[in-house]
Structure 1
Amino acid sequence: MERRRRVPNPLALAVLAWLLLEPMHPYELGRRLQQSGKDRHIKFTRSSLYMVVEQLTRAGFIVERETVRDGQRPERTVYEITDEGRHEFHDWLRALLAQPREEYPHFAVALSLLSLLPPDDVVEVLRKRLAALGVKIDESRAATDEALARGVEWYFLVEERYALALMEAESAFVTELIQSLTAPGYVKSWQEAMGSRA
Structure 2
Amino acid sequence: MAKKRPVTNLMALGVLSTVVVRDLHPYDMARALRGWGKDQDLPIKWGSLYTVVRNLARHGLLEEAASGREGRRPERTVYRITPAGRAELVDWTRELLSAVEHETPRFRAGLSVMAVLTPDEVTTLLQQRVAEVSAAITAAEEQLAAYVTEVPRLFLIEIEYDIAMLRAESTWMRSLIGELADGTLPGIEQWRQFHETGRPSDDMVELAEKSLEK
TM-score by length of 1: 0.91
* Contiguous gaps of at least 5 residues in structure 2: 200-214
| Percent of residue pairs identical | 36
Q: Secondary structure of 2:67's partner?
A: strand
In 2, the alpha carbon distance for the partners of 1:46 and 1:135 equals 28
2:182 matched to which residue of 1?
Answer: 183
1:90-129 Cα shifts (integer Å, max 9, x gaps): 1111111111111111111111111221011101111111
Q: Secondary structure of 1:126's partner?
A: helix
1:51 matched to which residue of 2?
Answer: 51
1:76 matched to which residue of 2?
Answer: 76
Q: CA deviation at 1:2?
A: 2.3
How many positions carry a matched residue from both structures?
197
What pairs with 1:81-100 in structure 2 (closer than 5 Å)? 81-100=81-100
Q: Which has the larger radius of gyration?
A: 2
1:192 matched to which residue of 2?
Answer: 193
1:107 matched to which residue of 2?
Answer: 107
Q: Secondary structure of 1:78's partner?
A: strand
C-alpha distance 130-70 of structure 1, shift in aligned 2 (>3 A): farther
C-alpha distance 123-26 of structure 1, shift in aligned 2 (>3 A): same
1:40 matched to which residue of 2?
Answer: 40
In 1, the alpha carbon distance for the partners of 2:181 and 2:55 equals 51
Q: CA RMSD in A?
A: 2.0
TM-score by length of 2: 0.84
Q: Which has the higher contact order (CA 8 A, sep 6+)?
A: 1
Q: CA deviation at 1:82?
A: 0.8
In 2, the alpha carbon distance for the partners of 1:26 and 1:97 equals 27
